[in-house]
Amino acid sequence: MIKSVENNVEEWFDVLLEVNDVSFVMHNDECRLGKSLFNIKLWKLYISFLEEHGEYSRLLDVSHLYCRFFMDDEKMKEKHITRMERYGISGHSLKKVYAFPHNVKLGSVIQKKSF
């Protein structure tokens, strides 16, 4: 059944939900996100699922990652801020969500290895 709806994210997600196992849905969705990071619909379905099922710590982590990948999605940034205020368990700084270091040099990131 799940293979037959693999190309439709919403139907695929609905089939996952039929199992009625939060952990199963989380593992399978994160696996699929790892293979298609830019599937916004899948991200949003997963974020909604986490919130509906009270997985607040994971919700904040995933929402944080979403905001890092899709920095121009102002609506989701606002939702992320609201979630952080509501659930109050995130170790993420709002400034760090969107800021990148300005003084990083390519040479300091790449280290030459001798073989």
How is the chain split into domains, by residue range? 3-95
Q: Say if residue 113 is exposed, middle or buried (CB neighbours under 10 Å; 0-12, 13-18, 19+).
A: exposed
Taking the CA atoms of 35, 38, 39 and 45 in sequence, report the sign of the dihedral they define.
positive
CATH code for residues 3-95: 1.25.40
pTM (whole model) above 0.85: no
Angle 90-59-73 from CA coordinates, rounded to 5°: 95
**Per-residue confidence in pLDDT tens, the chain, 115 aa:** 677 788 899 999 999 999 999 999 999 999 999 999 999 999 999 999 999 999 999 999 999 999 989 999 999 999 998 998 888 765 555 555 544 455 544 444 444 444 3
Q: Taking a C-beta distance cutoff of 8 angstroms, is the pair 84, 64 a contact?
A: no
Computed on alpha carbons and rounded to an integer, the radius of gyration of the chain in Å comes to 17
* Residue 107: per-residue pLDDT: 44
